[in-house]
């Protein structure tokens, strides 16, 4: 029996959308604490969203190259996961994991075969790996920014590696992504939005429904 697929809805900003994601059957929700993101939420908002979600869905706070005080402040709120989405080195990921005492998901941008080569070093340290599209050249923030990457690159990965897939996923392509790539989980943010940072109830429900059906 295959493990149940993990579905993560990321970039949630409001209690209303948190409820929508939980009711639609999300396994994880992500909150973005990064000023340059249209999905940024303050520490106070993160605290309130985490307490609202506690015991109902796994919570994940996304940080980009955080300093130690930021890590400590977020870890104190008691999320289930911290997701590192910046240029953190394996050494830095290890240090943050030791300091935070929270499970760490490391997002790694994939654009070509050379990026696949870096995955193994992080896989030994992070509790979970999230493979995302490389940002377009000149982008001011990390992530696929709504674009997917060439999934065939993942054939070069260690077949024993569990990972989550992100980058350009939508209700329309998530089933194909799951059948093609066989990830441990899928993660969506802009693919369930009507405008940057504006989540849509119907898109969230369709994404989760299509992801579950594909499994």
pLDDT in tens, 14-69: 999 999 999 999 999 999 999 999 999 999 999 999 999 999 999 999 999 999 99
- The single-letter DSSP state of residue 36 is T
Task: Tell me the percentage of the chain whose pLDDT exceeds 90.
Answer: 84
The confidence score (pLDDT) of residue 139 equals: 56
Q: Which of 10, 60, 67, 200 is catalytic?
A: 10
Q: Residue 10 catalytic?
A: yes
Q: Residue 132 catalytic?
A: yes
Q: Which of 132, 140, 158, 200 is catalytic?
A: 132
pLDDT surpasses 90 at 166: yes
- Looking from the CA of 122 toward its CB, the CA atoms found within 13 Å total 27
CA distance 26 to 174: 14
pTM of the entire structure? 0.93
Which token pair is 84?
């590192």
CA distance 134 to 136: 6
Note whether 155 and 182 are within 8 A (CB). Answer: no
Look at domain 6-214 and name its CATH class: alpha beta
Mean pLDDT of 88-115: 95
C-alpha distances in angstroms, 136 versus 40, 52, 54, 133, 152? 20, 35, 35, 9, 19
* Conformational region of residue 197, where left means phi above 0, alpha means psi within -120 to 50, and beta covers everything else: left
Which token pair is 68?
């130690």
Sign of the Cα pseudo-torsion (157, 160, 166, 172, in order) = positive
C-alpha distances in angstroms, 122 versus 70, 88, 137? 21, 10, 24
pLDDT surpasses 80 at 136: no
Note whether 37 and 141 are within 8 A (CB). Answer: yes
Which token pair is 203?
């898109």
């Amino acid at each position: 029996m295959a493990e149940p697929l993990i579905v993560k809805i990321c970039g949630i900003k409001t209690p209303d959308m948190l409820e929508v994601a939980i009711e639609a059957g999300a396994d994880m929700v992500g909150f973005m604490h990064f000023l340059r993101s249209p999905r940024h939420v303050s520490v106070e908002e993160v605290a309130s969203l985490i307490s609202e979600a506690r015991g109902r869905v796994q919570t994940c706070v996304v940080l980009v190259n955080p300093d130690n005080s930021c890590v400590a402040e977020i870890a104190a709120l008691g999320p289930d996961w911290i997701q590192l989405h910046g240029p953190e080195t394996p050494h830095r990921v290890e240090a943050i994991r030791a300091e935070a005492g929270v499970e760490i998901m490391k997002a790694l941008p994939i654009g070509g075969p050379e990026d696949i080569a870096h995955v193994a070093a992080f896989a030994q340290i992070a509790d979970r790996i999230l493979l995302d599209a490389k940002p377009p050249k000149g982008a001011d923030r990390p992530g696929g920014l709504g674009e997917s990457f060439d999934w065939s690159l993942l054939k070069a990965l260690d077949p024993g590696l569990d990972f989550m897939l992100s980058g350009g996923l939508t209700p329309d392509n998530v089933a194909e992504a799951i059948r093609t790539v066989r990830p441990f989980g899928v993660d969506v943010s802009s693919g369930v939005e009507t405008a940057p940072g504006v989540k849509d109830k119907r898109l969230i429900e369709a994404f989760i429904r299509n992801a579950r059906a594909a499994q």
